[in-house]
């Protein structure tokens, strides 16, 4: 029988478990009376930090010395996003 191996059963079980999980405990933040997902606010803060850092680097004159500026600014944004998440929701 095709597809009846142990790996197929494990994958089928994993798919069933993933579809049965819920998001009842997902953190939401009240912003001006409307609830936003917390990850969205953390991502916006991370983007703002990356944009501000870029402006500082331009003002100081170090923007031109970056080898991969897009990768650098993306990494700063991701790092800031994860730092905000850990500070805000890291129990």
Segments making up each domain of the chain, as ranges: 26-89
Task: Give the confidence band of 26 by pLDDT, cuts at 50, 70, 90.
Answer: low
Separation in Å, CA 65 to CA 24, 70, 74:
47, 13, 16
Tokens 């991502």 belong to residue: 43
The structure tokens listed for 8 are 């197929």
**Closest-CA residue to 72 (of 56, 86, 87):** 56
The whole-number average pLDDT for the span 23-50 is 80
What global pTM score does this model have? 0.64
Phi, psi of 31 (to 5 degrees): -120, 110
**Closest-CA residue to 82 (of 90, 73, 91, 71):** 90
Question: What was the pLDDT predicted at 24?
Answer: 60
pLDDT in tens, 42-91: 999 999 999 999 999 999 999 999 999 999 999 999 999 999 989 987 76
Question: What was the pLDDT predicted at 23?
Answer: 59
Higher model confidence: residue 81 or residue 16?
81
């Amino acid at each position: 029988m095709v597809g009846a191996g142990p790996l197929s059963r494990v994958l089928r079980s994993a798919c069933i478990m993933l579809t049965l999980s819920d998001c009842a405990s997902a953190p939401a933040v009240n912003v001006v009376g409307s609830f936003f997902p917390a990850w969205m606010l953390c991502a916006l803060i991370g983007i703002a930090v990356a944009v501000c850092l870029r402006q500082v680097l331009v003002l100081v004159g170090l923007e031109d010395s970056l080898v991969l500026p897009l990768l650098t600014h993306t990494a700063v944004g991701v790092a800031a996003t994860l730092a905000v998440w850990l500070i805000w929701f890291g129990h």
